[in-house]
Amino acid sequence: MTVNSSHMNSTISTSRGILPPTRVVSYESPEAGSSASFSQLEPDMNKDDETELLSVSWNQDYGCFAAGTSSGFRIYNCDPFKETFRRDLKSGGFKIVEMLFRCNILALVGGGANSQYPPNKVMIWDDHQSRCISEFSFRSEVRAVKLRRDRLVVVLEHKIYVYNFTDLKLLHQIETLANPRGLCCLSHHLNTSVLACPGLQRGQVRIEHFGLNMTKFINAHDSHIACFTLTMDGLLLATASNKGTLIRIFNTMDGTRLQEVRRGVEKAEIYSIVLSSNAQWLAASSDKGTVHIFSLRVRVVGEDAYDNSSAAHGQALFHQNSSTSVDALISPNTGANPSSSLSFMRGVLPKYFSSEWSFAQFHLPENTRFIVAFGSQNTVIIVGMDGSFYRCSFDPVQGGEMVQREYVRFLKTDIRPR
């Protein structure tokens, strides 16, 4: 079946349509790794030293990551670290590999010098059925794909399309400022449906609370947005601009700024920001080669109050969390993030003297793109475009330099695209 829709500038083709997987096949399952094969595609037994790493990305709970390569893709489990699944293909590689937790559904977009898969097409691959079950073709290059159990989101440079995952129905079209990085983030709790994307003004983030039928615009920075992330429930947003010196945390219900932390004084490109599941910690990586951990002073509002079936209930939460009562979202300052000894002179000296600096740090090679996530028991997981995997631990009381607990070179390549 092929559906042509001129208003959405895309073509969708599917043999059966997409249904959320009724049978979840873990990528640690031998069945998923051994029985499936791409239809009409020949495997290629490339050696690692011939493989270029095109992308790395986490799954929704940070328990796995996907690596898009010039010859296919690979899936890795984080704890314990191991490669659980791979596809090596003669027909080229993928610049986008988006997982859906640990189930059998993947979204793929072609990339690399010799890929036969066009960069304007999203392929939905069902590894249980061993076939591509749907394709989305667009008139411009796909910048990102985001999945949650009930939604599929395709990000183009100037527009975002939100589809229902069950029947591929187009639900929303969102215009954005130029978005070449494909910035977009989704909540992943079942009872919150939140999307964050660039707005139509420089430094602005648009928040869609789909369950509440509410849109919020947050003017987060004066310069262009470089990176942002949501908590799993979508109620907190962390942002960085292309200056890369400050990271700000906002309440997505009313746009109130809750906290600001400082990565450094010099300009930097922020590669990755992540919030811990309990919203106690924030981690960030940049081209300066240091992963910073910050202590947060925000409390997570009870997500039970966010009821997708009741907009009125949601509006009550909105008023409850308005700026008049935002103090309820801010915990007393524990002093965990160090600040300058000259902070008593704030307003007189430059702003960075009164800033909150990072609580813990880990040093990596500069100018290599790393993404970060929180693991269990005060650990941080770091994955690099040089094919490296790190697990580090930090002292939640003393902070300081993190301790490296594990290092793996999961793909041996000298090619380090940024």
**What pLDDT does 336 receive?**
57
Residue the block writes with tokens 């990755």: 272
- Greater confidence (49 vs 247) lies with 247
Q: What percent of the chain has pLDDT over 70?
A: 73
Does residue 290 contact residue 284 with C-beta atoms inside 8 Å? no
- What secondary structure does DSSP assign to 13-53, as a single string? EESS-----SS---TT-HHHHHS---TT--B----GGGPPE
Question: Which tens digit of pLDDT belongs to each residue from 15-40?
Answer: 444 444 333 333 332 222 222 333 44
- Greater confidence (372 vs 27) lies with 372
Kindly provide the b/e burial profile for residues 68-91, where b requires at least 16 CB atoms within 10 angstroms of the residue's own CB. Answer: bbbbbbbbbbbeeeeebbebbbeb
In a domain, 122, yes or no: yes
Q: How far is CA 338 from CA 261, 280, 294, in A?
A: 10, 16, 10
In a domain, 318, yes or no: no
Residue the block writes with tokens 């440079």: 157
Q: How far apart are the first and last CA of the chain?
A: 38
Does residue 321 contact residue 255 with C-beta atoms inside 8 Å? no
Q: CB 57: neighbour CB atoms within 10 A?
A: 17
Amino acid 334 reads T
- What's the whole-number mean pLDDT along residues 62-68? 94
Residue 41 has pLDDT above 50, yes or no: no
- The parent domain of residue 74 ranges over 48-135
Q: How many helices, marked H, and strands, marked E, lie in the chain?
A: 2, 31
Residue 247 has pLDDT above 70, yes or no: yes
In a domain, 203, yes or no: no
pLDDT band at residue 299, thresholds of 50, 70 and 90? low
Please give the Cα distance from 156 to 137 (Å, whole number). 11
Q: Up-side HSE of residue 51: CA atoms within 13 Å toward CB? A: 28
In a domain, 159, yes or no: no
**SS3 assignment, position 149:** coil
How many distinct structural domains can be found in the chain?
A: 1
In a domain, 289, yes or no: no
- What secondary structure does DSSP assign to 344-410, as a single string? GGBTTB-GGGG-B--SEEEE--TTS-EEEEE-SSSEEEEEETTSEEEEEE--TTT-EE-EEEEEEE-
Q: Which two tokens stand for residue 392?
A: 């580090």
Q: What percent of the chain has pLDDT over 90?
A: 55
Please give the Cα distance from 68 to 327 (Å, whole number). 43
In a domain, 105, yes or no: yes
In a domain, 380, yes or no: no
In a domain, 253, yes or no: no
Lowest mean pLDDT among 82-91, 96-105, 323-332: 323-332
Q: Which two tokens stand for residue 44?
A: 């290629």
Please give the Cα distance from 11 to 137 (Å, whole number). 5
Closest of 84, 49, 85 to residue 70, by C-alpha: 49
Q: Rounded to 5 degrees, what are φ and ψ at 352?
A: -65, -15
For the ranges 199-208, 328-337, 364-373, the one whose mean pLDDT is highest: 199-208
Burial class (CB in 10 A: 0-12, 13-18, 19+), 317: buried
